[in-house]
Amino acid sequence: MSGGIDSLIAWYYLGKPTAYYVPLLTHYTEKELLTFERLSRIDKEIKDSLIIEADFPLGKFEIGDKANIPGRNLFLALLGAQYAKNVYIIGINGDDVPDKNIRAFMKMSEVISEITGEKISIRSPFWAYSKSEIIKWFLETDKVKLSLPDRIKLLKTSVSCYSEDEGQCGECPSCFRKWIALEYNHINTRDIFLKNPATTKTAQEYWKRVLDKKFNSKKRYEETRTVLQRYFGKCNEERPSRLGKIGCSIRIRVREE
């Protein structure tokens, strides 16, 4: 479990199994640990099921603003295989980094099985589902015995922000994807992010990607388009978008092409 939405929902979806958190000593490790404290105040069972592993300092290999650690999930898979034969690392529809996609997980299962002599399976239950869809499931399912306000509070409290500062920045790609998924489910996001994600450079970049249809997941494209259209799509001279001139100029330039 990481403290982010995907692994939090997966934990409920899988029937609250023992979960491991591995402190990778990235610049947001402290924030993740704090997040578990806060999540556990809403559902005490989170703390009861969570085992915090010894430090595993992969953070020193972190690259760029997307906080990428090459091969991170392979390390985690091998570590997980020390505890269980079925290891869940949560990937969702549209996740396609080299160490987190269906093919990579199949290969990891093969290699780890071969070198440990056990039948190890590295899997995710959510390859077919987008972040918005798993949130919808979480809000509607009978499987979770929490009130709707508590479920929403959990979603809002979960953190997968790349910034080392306290809170959820609203500017990093991870905050942006969370914002899209919550907005798509009509959850009020105003009290979550330090900066309104709609007004960030990240939102502009994603809007450009929407216009160019540069998405590797149809669902992610549709959901991003639907939400961003509320902010960028209605832009004209009489009724400027909430992004002001920057949002408008992108829109107008694209119209001219």
Which positions lie near Zn ion, rule CB under 5 A? 161, 163, 169, 172, 175
- 1 Cβ contact partners less than 8 Å away, ≥ 6 residues apart: 7, 8, 11, 19, 20, 21, 36, 46, 50
120 vs 169, beta carbon nearer Zn ion:
169
| C-beta of 54 vs 63, nearer to Zn ion | 63
In the bound state with Zn ion, the residue whose beta carbon lies nearer, of 124 and 163, is 163
The alpha carbon torsion through 64, 196, 138, 131 (nearest 10 deg) reads -40
Q: How far is the CB of 211 from Zn ion (least distance, A)?
A: 24
Residue 5 CB, nearest distance to Zn ion (Å)? 13
- Minimum distance of Zn ion from residue 135's CB (angstroms): 17
C-beta of 39 vs 74, nearer to Zn ion: 39
Buried b (16+ CB within 10 A) or exposed e, 21-34: bbbbebebbebbee
Smallest separation, CB 173 to Zn ion (Å): 8
Three-class secondary structure of residue 176 per DSSP: helix
Region for residue 66 given its phi and psi (left: phi exceeds 0; alpha: psi -120 to 50; beta: otherwise): alpha
Q: How far apart are CA 28 and CA 39, in angstroms?
A: 16
To Zn ion, the closest distance from the beta carbon of 44 in angstroms equals 27
Question: 209 near 220, Cβ under 8 Å?
Answer: no
Token pair for residue 170? 């609203």
Query: Between residues 120 and 228, which has the closer beta carbon with respect to Zn ion?
Result: 228
